[in-house]
Amino acid sequence: MKLTKRGIDATTYSGDNNARHVLWDDEVPGFGLRLYPSGKKSFILSYRTGGGTKRLLTIGTYGVLTLEQARQAARSELAKVETQGADPLADREKERRGETVADLCAAYMERHGNAKKSADADQRRIDQHILPLWRTRKAKAITRADVAALHAKIGKAHPYEANRTLALLSKLFELARRWGFVPDGHPNPARDIDRFREAKRDRWVSPAELPRLAEAINAEPNETARAALWLYLLTGARKTELLTARWDHVDWDRAELKLPDTKAGRVHYIPLSGPALALLRAIPRTEGNPFILVGRGPRKATTEEKAQAPAHLINVEKAWARVKTAATLSAWREDARAAALIERLTAERTRTRSKHTAKDYSPTPSLAEIRAAAAAEGVELPPAIDDVRLHDLRRTVGSWLAQAGNSLHLIGRILNHSNTSTTAVYARFGEDSVRAALEQHGARIMGAAGLTPTADVTEIKTKRTA
């Protein structure tokens, strides 16, 4: 029968035991009206997918849609099935599931992010910046204005973090298009957003600073962390690459350390100097643990679990903080006024110590306390070393190699740089060798001319033409 408005209005549910009751339309194949015991009436469409699976799609409720609107919608869906091989019900179910930003982030970590070396950083940015704001929003609903606002918000205090989050979002939405989270041709909302300018870090340990820093490293009570810090200075290896190095990576005959899993994505061989080899030979080995720098393992693990899962050193930052503090205090104490200030603050802390003070109490004031007191009293403190980051030890290797006259190509090979522009930052450190070369050149020129370097320079007058 052909469905009509009058017929629909006059028909009521007549099924048994909630059985399906459908009035099929003769005009559009598979189009019909389903009646419910509650009195509700809905337009439906029955069709088969390209694979032959029978599907039943609800088009809409009668009363909300007119008969002609529903019939037209049915024709449109059937056309997609016939011409495009579409499955309207599957598309609707996918839409209903959401494909939210939370779904996209979960898929990203499972299918892409967890394979990256920066997986932890990606997950932290997702948890800290992205999910709290957009967790339940559809991925396709995120606009460039949304991303720009988030980028600006993070960038007020942390420009570098804002730029890294923007890069993560750009990759997320690129993959969202490939994986069907957003329609084909959907614009990437993280594109065409101006990034914050990032100041290139230019900190390294100078020859004047190294003696105090070396003394502080040697005084560090954590023997493994102490070895790690020296190895950073002697090899220029990246933090994680060195922490995960194993004894079977050391070739004693060739005097080199093999790093199989590097940021550059390739095996890297680091030649080991005499001091580096001597340091490695002095590091005690732990039976059953293949790592050079042995760690204690997860704190929550049982003793048995730790024994079954050998661990490498993970947290060297605390030891590095102690070393930087000790080196800075050593530098400050060489200045009479600064030393007197530190002693007075130390005496005050000792005098006011409470019995409830934590077990890790130290009579020496923190660097922040000393700086605050010095600023209040007009005491000028000598240059500090506490602004040196752990990664700056790697930068120190590059800068010292450059100052010794080594080529940028050689430095790039030692530090395992993938891009020559990364190594180019060390070019200015080679100015001393350039200056020395020009001094020698100047002396030879003057000698060949029968002059001395201190000879007066005579102005050469030229004729003027009228």
In this prediction, residue 92 carries a pLDDT of 75
**Rounded Cα distance, 220 and 320, in Å:** 9
Tokens standing for residue 177: 């298009």
Per domain, the residue ranges of the chain are 5-96, 101-179, 391-448
Looking at CATH, the fold of the domain delimited by 5-96 is given as: Double Stranded RNA Binding Domain (3.30.160)
Q: Is 327 in a helix, a strand, or coil?
A: helix
**Rounded Cα distance, 93 and 261, in Å:** 42
| Residue 278 identity | A
Single out the residue of 39, 111, 27 nearest to residue 68, CA to CA: 27
Contact 78, 57 (CB under 8 A): no
Q: Hey, which residues does 44 pair with through a beta bridge? A: 32, 58
In this prediction, residue 98 carries a pLDDT of 56
**Rounded Cα distance, 104 and 98, in Å:** 10
In this prediction, residue 446 carries a pLDDT of 75
Per-residue burial over 402-440, b if 16 or more Cβ lie within 10 Å, else e, is bbeebebeebbebbbbeeeeebebbeebbeeeeeeeeee
In this prediction, residue 462 carries a pLDDT of 46
**DSSP codes joined into one string, 122-187:** HHHHIIIIIHHHHTTSBGGG--HHHHHHHHHHHHTT-HHHHHHHHHHHHHHHHHHHHHTSS-TT--
**Is the whole-model pTM more than 0.75?**
no
| Residue 287 identity | E
**DSSP codes joined into one string, 175-233:** HHHHHTSS-TT---TTSS-PPPP-PPP-----TTTHHHHHHHHHH-S-HHHHHHHHHHH
Single out the residue of 113, 145, 140, 141 nearest to residue 126, CA to CA: 113
Beta strand 268-271 with 256-259: parallel, antiparallel or unpaired?
antiparallel
Provide CB contacts within 8 A for 278, sequence distance 6+.
none
Q: How far apart are the first and last CA of the chain?
A: 110
Q: List the pLDDT tens digit at each of the 466 positions of the chain.
A: 789 999 999 999 988 878 889 999 999 999 999 999 888 999 999 999 888 889 899 999 999 999 999 999 999 999 988 888 888 888 776 666 558 899 999 999 999 988 887 788 899 999 999 999 999 999 999 999 999 999 999 999 899 999 999 999 999 999 999 988 888 889 999 999 999 988 777 788 998 999 999 999 999 999 999 999 999 999 999 998 999 999 999 999 999 999 988 877 789 999 999 999 999 999 999 988 999 999 875 555 555 555 556 789 988 999 999 999 999 999 999 999 999 999 999 998 888 776 555 565 678 889 999 999 999 999 999 999 899 999 999 989 988 888 888 888 888 888 888 777 778 777 767 666 666 677 777 777 777 777 765 545 445 454 444 4
In this prediction, residue 460 carries a pLDDT of 43
Single out the residue of 306, 235, 320 nearest to residue 270, CA to CA: 235
Length of the chain measured in residues: 466
Single out the residue of 61, 52, 48, 51 nearest to residue 89, CA to CA: 48
Tokens standing for residue 121: 């950083």
In this prediction, residue 349 carries a pLDDT of 84
**Rounded Cα distance, 151 and 159, in Å:** 9
**Rounded Cα distance, 402 and 428, in Å:** 8
In this prediction, residue 419 carries a pLDDT of 77
In this prediction, residue 299 carries a pLDDT of 52
